[in-house]
Copies of this chain bind each other. A is one copy, B any other.
Amino acid sequence: MKRIALLPPTLALLAATMPPPATVLAPSEIVAAAPGKDWVTIAPADMLVMDLARDARGVARRVVIQLLPQPFSRGWIGNIRKLAAARWWDGTSVNRVQDNYVVQWGDATEKKALPGGLAKVPQGEYESAAVSLNIIRPDTYAGNGQGGGVGFYRGWPVAFAKHGERTNGSHWPIHCYGMVGVGRDMPPDTGSGAELYTVIGQAPRHLDRNIALVGRVISGIEYLSSLPRGTGPLGFYEKPEQRVTITSIRLASELPEINRPQFQYMSTESASFTKYADARANRRDPFFIHPAGGADICNVPVPIRQTH
């Protein structure tokens, strides 16, 4: 019996029957072939490094989060930089894991005092002024066929508003898998940035513009997505011992250089990314019979690579 795979195990195996390579590269092959100039180094000051307590087998668990660029969510991101500098998260924990939805972390006691100087960020900052997008497509959540849509801005998936809405002209980041946002209470200005979550399932796009996004997990999401699901309401852990301790959260720029990870993202303005996005929407590698002719923006994840 042959090995049954969902994707071709090696391209070499198929070389004999392949049409010219330009038409059949898989997205992963386009990424592998992208020249150095199509990659952008992420500044250490724009990465949060979250170290979890070692697992039961003693394995270290590091999660790296890239923060959103200007002009998005600046108030909350400013707070997050202060919280990391104050070492506020050290000793807090992952408290909620809801299947096909989110993992959430912060202070389970909800009594830990926040450092001074945090901004109270208004609801208006869920959206920003217009930015210049690449690879614009229609989108169900941003007003399909009514002038809204989605595209990419400096490495990030971004949506823009329907014509005629009060939000006309506004742009906002998108709740794709791995995006990181700010938990809040009912009033929209109650999220400080101390309580964070990441998406571990189908993109919950109904949260767009209803809750602030601040970044995305670029490494180690499996240490969050594979945690046992919580059995309390909303997936909160019911017993304190189920929580996973956060050893520390720091900006990468605050870590000693030897312990500082380095990552790059593929420029979404590059020729490689244009090819990659097309390949994600039209799979022509040999496994596929029907190229779809389109792709949800959350099915075009921006390629990330670790360089140190």
- Residues of A at the B interface (CB closer than 8 Å) are 1-9, 14, 97, 99-100, 102, 104, 106-107, 110-112, 114, 123, 126, 137-138, 140-141, 143-145, 162, 167, 176-178, 183-186, 188, 190-191, 195, 197, 200-211, 221-222, 225-229, 233-234, 280-281, 283, 286-290, 292-296, 298-299
The contact sample of 21 A-B pairs, CB cut-off 8 A, is A1-B110, A1-B111, A2-B110, A2-B190, A4-B110, A4-B183, A4-B185, A6-B234, A99-B221, A99-B222, A141-B293, A145-B145, A167-B290, A188-B289, A201-B202, A202-B296, A203-B299, A206-B295, A210-B288, A225-B225, A296-B296
Instruction: For residue A285, give the distance in angstroms from its CB to the closest CB of chain B.
Output: 10
Give the contacting residue for A283; candidates B6, B178, B206, B280; CB below 8 A. Answer: B206
Give the contacting residue for A206; candidates B143, B145, B167, B292; CB below 8 A. Answer: B292
Give the contacting residue for A186; candidates B14, B141, B283; CB below 8 A. Answer: B14
Interface centre among A14, A114, A176, A229 (most CB of B within 10 A): A229
Are B100 and A2 in touch, CB under 8 angstroms? no
Are A294 and B141 in touch, CB under 8 angstroms? yes
Interface centre among A3, A7, A202 (most CB of B within 10 A): A202
Are B2 and A183 in touch, CB under 8 angstroms? no
Are A292 and B9 in touch, CB under 8 angstroms? no
Are B288 and A4 in touch, CB under 8 angstroms? no
Q: Which 7 A-B pairs have the closest CB atoms?
A: A4-B183, A140-B294, A4-B195, A222-B229, A209-B290, A141-B292, A177-B202
